[in-house]
Chain A
Amino acid sequence: MTGYLIRRLGQAVLVVAGVIVLTFAIMRLVPGDPAVAYAGPKASAAELAAARARFGLDDPLWVQLWNYVRDLLSGEWGTSLHTRQPVASDLTTVFPASLELVGAALIVAVAAGVPLGVLAARYKGKFPDFSVRLSSMLAVSVPVFWLALAVQTVFASNLGWFPVAGEYDATLDTTSPLRVYTNITAVDALFTGNWPMLTSTLEHLVLPALVVAAYPAGVIAQMTRAALIEEAGQDHARMARALGFGETAVLTRFSLRPAAGPVLSLIALVFAYAIVNGFLVEAVFNWPGLGRYAADSIRSLDTPAIAGVTLVVALLYVLANLVVDLLQSLLDPRVRKAG
């Protein structure tokens, strides 16, 4: 186990190094001189030279890369061009909002996807199976930005059941201001007993979380169905049947647990995917998370901010993959051997 752990961690470190180099390379491709972007179009030659010297743009590429890595490690992620704030501090405020949205979405996705997968496996080839397969296929095929617009128009603008956009009612900032601990509004509101803030946040969460949940719910339902059908054909399931257990019991009591491994790892992978898919939903619902920050950064060609967002999400991906592999190796000893 220790050997596997060390090998897997080493691999993750290598990937992170590669991620940093690739991000650096992409940002170096930027057409136009970053010094001009900083100093402005009317800058004199001397000002430009000063800007070049300040950002080390005259150094050889490998020196620039080294400085970049050193800055990243010391938490110096550059200054955003559009917020005029350090990117690192921007990220610590917008990332928790995305986490809140995607976390809520995943709870919905698991709560819907797993039972639907069980239902489909139980009635394999029958009508419930067909409708679950059809709806999960639709859920993974729907363009998420379009679904967000449609849901927003119908349930917020037209019916008025839910707020149209934002994370909470802005007037609450004065009437019941939130003490911030985690930057995740719903969590902070819950632990400080700020009920008006909590209900407002939850109301604002419903629509965007449901939209973000569509894709993961579809994938989880499909995976649960496939894993259960495979497990239900194994010897232990036949044994249970021979002992007189009904088909529902065979699935839920004897197959769900061994099928949990692949489903759990899928959830971790889908989490990282949902963060990025959430970008589009955040843009529609004006949710103050990573996605809206990325959209604003793209509009103003804010390279340091884009690099920051890219790095955070890529690191999250590496982390999710690492967690999946470690979970798998805990659940299934064969993984450790195969490495």
Chain B
Amino acid sequence: MTAVELRRTPLRRAADLARGDVLAATGLAVLALVALAALLAPWIAPYPEDGGTAVHLTEALRPPGAEHWLGTDQVGRDVLSRILYGARTSLFIAVAVLALAAAVGVTLGVVAGYAGGLVRDVIMRITDVFLAFPALLLSLALAVVLQPSVTTVVVAIAATWWPWYARLTASVAQSVARRGYVDAARCLGVPAPVIVFRHVLPNSLTPVLVQLSLDAGGVILTAAALSYLGLGAQEPEAEWGLMVEQGQSLFTTDWWVVTFPGLAILVTAFAFNVLGEGLRAALDPRRRPR
């Protein structure tokens, strides 16, 4: 590695490598489209009122055509409009879950990694307990106890996701804490909280960022599964998993009601996964397959 290359930031390197990674670049482009759909749903949806409580029984179950590109559902709502609105729900859930999980996990992780010893052991044993519950399972149990809603989904998934960030951050922070500049700060008498959050934390974040992009697809799939089970978003909210659930008995006769929302989940999760893989390949110096 030359000196010039060393001076380039990880993000810059990532951008360069993404250019050579067709899949990751595709993922990024698709996500940009999904984000646009979420932001502009009220303006670009052909039938904006169908994102909510609208009912047009005379229009029910129209197959895809010129008026309704992706057909209409059992109460006559435009499937395309609901998918565009559903992008809002899915992206909101993904962002909220990851923000919450990362905030809790990274804070505990950086403290555990810097403090070491007993503090580290206690925090790590707590993460062990939470990690024993697969995300969907703990979410199931929590969603039964709490009222089913989008907020419940966010809380339930975040509760199972934070330990991963705690573990990851702890292991990175532990090595960062041994670096020279941290020792220097300690010798200068900088108080521990300042060292942890000013010096150790920012230098431990890169792997967390990669992990976040890798996890977003999983969060979207888990959220859709919870809504499919009736434990998440409720009618008339537009949510992809819920749309699949509502249309599942119609699959043999009116395939579009189930097919398109499912495809929306698949495409979004896929885009996050390939982007995350690409970022990991680009930023992890140990694993650079290309």
Contact = CB atoms under 8 A, between A and B. Distances in A.
A213 interface: no
Interface residues of B, number: 48
B119 interface: no
A281 to B, nearest CB: 11
A23 B141 contact: yes
B274 interface: yes
Interface string B224-264: 11001111000000000100100010011001001101100
Contacts of B269: 141-143
Contacts of B270: 137-138, 141
B265 A143 contact: yes
A246 B221 CA distance: 42
Contacts of B225: 143-145, 280
Contacts of B224: 143
Nearest to A303: B144
Contacts of B133: 19, 22, 310, 313-314, 317
A310 B137 contact: yes
A11 B244 contact: no
B229 A226 contact: no
B252 A153 contact: yes
Interface string B74-100: 000000000000000000000000000
Interface string A153-185: 100011000000000000000000000000000
B198 interface: no
A322 B134 CA distance: 16
A276 B144 contact: no
B71 to A, nearest CB: 16
Interface stretch (A26-34, A56-64, A100-108): A26-34
Nearest to A277: B136
A247 to B, nearest CB: 16
Contact of B251 (A134, A142, A153, A283): A153
Interface stretch (B101-109, B121-129, B183-191): B121-129
B209 to A, nearest CB: 20
Interface string A127-142: 0000001100110111
A298 B225 CA distance: 14
A134 B287 contact: no
A4 interface: no
A243 B140 CA distance: 56
A1 interface: no
A277 B289 CA distance: 30
Interface in B124-173: 125-126, 128-134, 136-138, 140-142, 144-147
B54 interface: no
B266 A19 contact: no
Contact of B229 (A14, A124, A283): A283
Contacts of B266: 138, 141-143, 146
B217 interface: yes
Contact of A143 (B144, B244, B251): B244
Nearest to B142: A26
Contacts of A29: 145-146
Contacts of B262: 143, 146-147, 149-150
Contacts of A36: none
B277 interface: yes
Interface SS, B side: helix
Contacts of A138: 266, 270
A313 B134 contact: yes
Contacts of B174: none
B273 interface: yes
A149 B229 contact: no
B228 A280 contact: yes
A250 interface: no
A298 B144 contact: yes
A149 B251 contact: yes
B115 interface: no
Given A124-B289, A295-B229, A310-B137, A141 B132 contact: no
Contacts of A301: 144
B290 to A, nearest CB: 7
B23 interface: yes
Contacts of A284: 248
Contacts of A150: 251, 258-259, 262
A89 to B, nearest CB: 21
Given A143-B224, A153-B252, A133 B23 contact: yes
B132 A314 contact: yes
Contacts of A226: 287, 289
Interface string B8-40: 000000000000000100000000000000000
B30 to A, nearest CB: 11
B244 A145 contact: yes
A306 B244 contact: no
A280 B231 CA distance: 13
A145 to B, nearest CB: 5
Given A124-B289, A150-B259, A31 B137 contact: no
Interface in A272-329: 272-273, 275-277, 279-280, 283-284, 294-295, 298, 301, 303, 306-307, 309-310, 313-315, 317-318, 321
Interface of B: 23, 125-126, 128-134, 136-138, 140-142, 144-147, 217, 221, 224-225, 228-231, 241, 244, 248, 251-252, 255, 258-259, 261-262, 265-266, 269-270, 273-274, 277, 287, 289-290
26 contacts: A15-B125, A18-B128, A26-B141, A29-B146, A138-B270, A143-B262, A143-B266, A145-B241, A146-B262, A147-B262, A149-B244, A157-B251, A226-B287, A275-B134, A279-B136, A280-B225, A280-B228, A283-B229, A284-B248, A306-B144, A313-B133, A313-B134, A314-B137, A317-B131, A318-B132, A321-B132
